[in-house]
C-alpha cells in the first residue's frame, strides 16, 4: 500500500542564485523539481513514507528530468502521465526575504491539468492529498472530484486549498465547496480559507497556516495553536509543501494534535531557510532536532 499518494501540480523550478534582485538582473538559476503536490510527495518520502504522485508532464526533456528527479527522491512515478504536444511547466521566482517571493509560472496547457483518469490506488492509500489547483480546469477537475468520491472519506483525505488566482478563469468557491465536502482534512492559509469560507460538516481536521503567527488546528474535540519557529528565511515558497508532507507523516503516525502541528510547522520553517523546494525537504531527524531546539 502507498502511504502518501498526492495528485496535482508538477513542474521545474528555475530559482535565482542571487537574492534581492529582480528577474531581469538575475545572472544564474538553479534547476530543481517543483510543483505543490509533487513537493508534498517528496517531503513525505524524505520522512520515510512510501509516496507517489498522480500528475502529468510534457513530452520534452523537462518531463524526463521530472521522472528522474522523482525516482531519485524515492517517489513513485508510475502514475505520471506524459501528454503529447504539451510542455512541462516552468516556474521562476524572485527572492526578497523575509516575506516577498514573487513567482512567475509558465503553465500554458499544463499537462498536470490533462488527467482523464486516476489510479485505483487512490482508494487504498494511507493518505490521499489533492490541491485546489487541480480543480482549476478540466479534465483535471472532474478527475480529482471523482477520485475524492471513490475515496469515500476513508482514512486521511486531504484537500490542500492551494489557491492561485492567476490559474483560475471562473469562481473557485463552488468547486472548493464540493471538494471540501468529500475530504477529511482541510489545509490552507488565511487567503485560501477566504475562498472556501466555512469548513463543511464531517471534516475531521481543519488547519489554518498563520504565517509569522504559527499554525492553528482544530478537530471536533480539541484545538491547538503552535507558535512560529524562528529561522533566517531564504525562500518561503516551499515551506507550505514541507508542512504538507510532514503533516501526512504525523497524521499517519497518529500523534496528538499539538505534536502534529509542531512537527509540520518545524518542517516548513526548515525549508523556508533553504533555497529549494523538493531538493530542500528535511529528514525526520532534522525536524525533530528543530522541534527540540
Over residues 13-27, the pLDDT tens digits come to: 999 999 999 999 999
pLDDT computed for residue 260 by the predictor: 98
Q: Which of 221, 195, 216 is nearest to 206 (CA)?
A: 216
* Other CB atoms within 10 A of residue 158 CB: 23
Whose grid coordinates read 532534522? 286
What spatial distance separates the first Cα and last Cα of the chain, rounded to whole Å?
A: 34
pLDDT computed for residue 159 by the predictor: 98
pLDDT computed for residue 212 by the predictor: 82
Domains of the chain: 4-292 (3.40.1190.20)
Q: Residue 80 in contact with residue 33, Cβ under 8 Å? A: no
pLDDT computed for residue 10 by the predictor: 98
Write out residues in the chain with pLDDT < 50, as ranges.
Answer: none
Report the C-alpha gap between 45 and 246 in whole angstroms: 10
Q: Residue 271 in contact with residue 242, Cβ under 8 Å? A: yes
pLDDT computed for residue 43 by the predictor: 98
Please give the backbone phi and psi of residue 125, each rounded to the nearest 5 degrees, phi first.
Answer: -60, 150
pLDDT computed for residue 211 by the predictor: 85
Whose grid coordinates read 517543483? 34
pLDDT computed for residue 153 by the predictor: 87
Q: Residue 8 in contact with residue 133, Cβ under 8 Å? A: yes
Q: Classify burial at 240, counting beta carbons within 10 Å of its beta carbon; exposed 0-12, middle 13-18, buried 19 or more.
A: buried
Instruction: Please give the grid coordinates belonging to residue 16.
Output: 535565482
Amino acid at each position: 500500500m502507498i502511504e502518501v499518494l498526492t495528485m496535482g501540480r508538477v513542474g521545474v523550478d528555475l530559482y535565482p542564485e542571487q537574492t534581492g534582485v529582480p528577474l531581469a538582473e538575475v545572472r544564474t538559476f538553479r534547476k530543481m523539481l517543483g510543483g505543490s503536490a509533487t513537493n508534498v510527495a517528496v517531503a513525505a518520502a524524505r520522512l520515510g513514507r512510501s509516496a507517489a504522485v498522480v500528475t502529468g508532464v510534457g513530452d520534452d526533456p523537462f518531463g524526463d528530468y521530472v521522472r528522474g528527479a522523482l525516482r531519485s527522491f524515492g517517489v513513485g512515478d508510475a502514475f505520471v502521465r506524459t501528454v503529447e504536444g504539451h510542455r512541462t511547466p516552468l516556474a521562476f521566482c524572485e527572492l526578497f526575504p523575509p516575506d516577498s517571493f514573487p513567482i512567475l509560472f509558465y503553465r500554458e496547457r499544463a499537462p498536470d491539468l490533462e488527467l482523464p483518469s486516476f489510479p485505483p490506488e487512490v482508494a487504498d492509500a494511507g493518505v490521499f492529498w489533492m490541491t485546489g489547483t487541480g480543480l482549476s480546469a478540466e479534465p483535471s477537475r472532474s478527475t480529482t472530484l471523482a477520485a475524492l468520491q471513490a475515496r469515500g472519506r476513508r482514512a486521511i483525505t486531504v484537500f490542500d486549498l492551494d489557491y492561485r488566482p492567476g490559474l483560475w478563469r471562473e469562481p473557485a468557491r463552488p468547486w472548493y465547496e464540493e471538494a471540501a465536502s468529500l475530504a477529511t482534512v482541510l489545509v490552507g492559509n488565511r487567503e485560501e480559507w477566504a475562498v472556501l469560507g466555512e469548513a463543511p460538516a464531517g471534516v475531521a481536521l481543519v488547519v489554518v497556516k498563520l504565517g509569522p503567527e504559527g499554525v492553528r488546528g482544530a478537530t471536533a474535540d480539541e484545538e491547538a495553536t503552535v507558535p512560529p519557529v524562528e529561522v533566517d528565511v531564504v525562500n518561503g515558497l516551499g515551506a507550505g509543501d514541507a508542512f504538507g508532507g510532514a503533516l501526512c507523516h504525523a497524521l499517519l503516525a497518529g500523534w496528538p494534535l499539538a505534536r502534529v502541528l509542531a512537527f509540520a510547522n518545524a518542517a516548513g520553517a526548515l525549508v523556508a531557510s533553504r533555497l529549494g523546494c523538493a531538493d530542500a525537504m528535511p529528514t525526520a531527524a532534522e525536524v525533530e532536532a528543530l522541534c527540540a531546539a
